[in-house]
Structure 1
């Protein structure tokens, strides 16, 4: 349920109402500030409440509406119909993810293999225009005999890459036991496709304050994905980015997954959260990544995650879907054409002399 306040509503009246909703009705309230109005989002047992009765609590209340979707805080209606943003501090300055901000490119290898590789890759993707480095310290793999990542030692290598380049770090959390040490390095904590519905993990990650990247499960419906995001927001963390990384369909002979680009306009109508597209996992083949990346920008994505490895043929994981640094350089030039046409490409920072 949302309470829409009239323009110019006094802050004291908003605070009074929030307190009354809590003390008299047992509801959790969340103040959401829009461009022109303030909305109070109400979470709790609202099924029996009469919106007209609530509207009479104050002359400053313009309207009280129910949020009909099963996902409440994730719903775009809950956020007064506007897009939210996730602001991530990095050594190079804050990076904004959201519909009303320039496209953010995340790039790097599937797995952290050694210090020379990860630092050099970080330097190359930064020079091409990426704002974040991706790299797995802990890797969920289908086979128990496949490379599982270097674990905690790889976190130190990611920290070294961050120190060398100032890039933000995105890396995946698999076990809640690793949360504290991973959060010391990661600027954004990734919850991978296999853990999208690991609800106990979602609750623990949602209770900490680092931004979260939630990847769509391999067979998850959109509603299941948004309900997983609801777990994170319900636990207290509003800084969630949704990442489409391809879903499993009938034909895996020609591509690893089916990249669902139609999800971009669908999510835009359903949720206020920022959207990221991962064409590397979505296709599984490096030659298909550029086309899907360009299409994602045209469809309106807020961010791209692209795998880059200095020698894909010798990568310890996901080499076939990784671009070389040279191909990534070219791709960024190609993406800039689409990005500028969509008014989503970052403007170069002027050099002061």
Structure 2
């Protein structure tokens, strides 16, 4: 249930209502400040509450509405139709994820292999226009005999790449025991597809304040995905970015997964959270990544995650779906054409004389 305040409602009145709803009604109010109005989200047992009774609490209340979706905090209704703005502070300054902001590109290798490789890749993707470096320190692999990542030592290499380039860092968390050490390096914590319904992990990342990049499970419905986001938000962290990375369908002969671009308009109608697309995992083949990346921008994505490796043929993981730095450079030029056409391409940074 949400309470929509009238435009210009005094802050003191909003605070009074918030306190009364908590103390008298036993609810957990969450104040959401939008561009034009303030909305108070009510979390708790609201099934028997009469909206008209709540309406009478203040002349500054415009309307009281029920949130019909099972994912309450993630629902677009919860913010009265307004989109979230997830702000990530990086060494190069704050970066905004959301439908009212320019596209954010995340790029880098599947796994961190050595310092020279990760630092050089960071330099190249930054020069092409990426804002974040992706790189796995801990890798979930289907086979127990496949490369699992270098762990904590890889985090140190990611930190070195950030020091060198100023890029934000996004890397995957697999075990709650690694949250503290990973959080010291990561600007965004990724929850991978295989852990989308690891509810203990979701609660832990929800209890800390770093933004969370939540990938869709390979066989998950949209509602299951949004309910996973709800776990994170219910634990106290509102900064969730949803990432579509392809789902498993009956045809795996030609693509690793089926990239579901229809989720972009569907999610836009259901949730206020930012949307990202991973065309690398979504297709599994580097030759298909550019077409899907361009289609994702045209469809309205807020972010792209693209795998880039200096020598894909020798990559320790996911080489076939990784672009070379040169191909990534050309792709960014191609993406700019579509991004500018839909008014989502970032403006070039001013060069100081």
Q: Same fold (TM over 0.5)?
A: yes
Deviation at 1:339, TM superposition (A): 0.3
Give the distance between the partners of 1:278 and 1:51, measured in 2 at CA. 41
Q: What corresponds to 2:211 in structure 1?
A: 211
In structure 2, the partner of 1:321 is 321
Return the offset for 1:88: 0.3
Per the alignment, residue 294 of structure 2 pairs with 294
What is the rounded CA distance, in whole Å, between the counterparts of 1:15 and 1:347 in structure 2? 39
- Consecutive unaligned residues of structure 1, counting only runs of 5 or more, are none
Post-superposition shift, 1:350? 2.1
Shift of 1:7: 1.1
Alpha-carbon distance in 1 for matches of 2:235, 2:322? 35
CA apart distance, 1:321: 0.1
Q: Which moved more, 1:312-321 or 1:26-35?
A: 26-35
Distance 1:129 1:290 in 2: 15
SS of 1:95's partner is: strand
Alignment of 1:234 onto 2:234: yes
> Which 4+ runs in 1 deviate beyond 3 A?
none
Matched residues in 1 for 2:129 and 2:7: separation? 40
Measured in 2, the distance between the counterparts of 1:106 and 1:231 equals 25
How do 1:61-140 residues align onto structure 2 when only pairs under 5 Å count? 61-140=61-140
- Number of aligned residues: 353
DSSP 3-state at the match of 2:90: coil
1:341 shift after superposition:
0.2
Q: Distance in 1 between matches of 2:62 and 2:100?
A: 26
Aligned to 1:163: 163
Pair 1:150 & 2:150 matched: yes
RMSD of Structure 2 on Structure 1 (CA): 0.5
| 1:281-323 Cα shifts (integer Å, max 9, x gaps) | 0000000000000000000000000000000000000000000
Which secondary structure state, in structure 2, belongs to the residue aligned with residue 25 of structure 1? coil
Residue deviations 1:237-283 (CA, integer Å, cap 9, x gap): 01100000000001000000000000000000000000000000000
Deviations 1:4-30 (A, max 9, x none): 111111111100100011111111111
Q: Distance in 2 between matches of 1:13 and 1:85?
A: 25
Structure 1 SS opposite 2:329 = helix
- Normalized against structure 1, the TM-score is what? 1.00
CA distance in 2, matches of 1:124, 1:35: 37
Partner of 1:41: 41
User: Structure 2: 5+ residue runs without aligned partners?
Assistant: none
The DSSP-based 3-state class of the residue aligned with 1:96 is strand
| Structure 1 Cα separation of the partners of residues 89 and 7 of structure 2 | 32
Shift of 1:352: 2.6
Matched, 1:175 2:175: yes
State the alpha-carbon separation in 2 of the partners of residues 352 and 319 from structure 1.
Answer: 38
Whole-Å separation in 2 of the counterparts to 1:247 and 1:265: 17
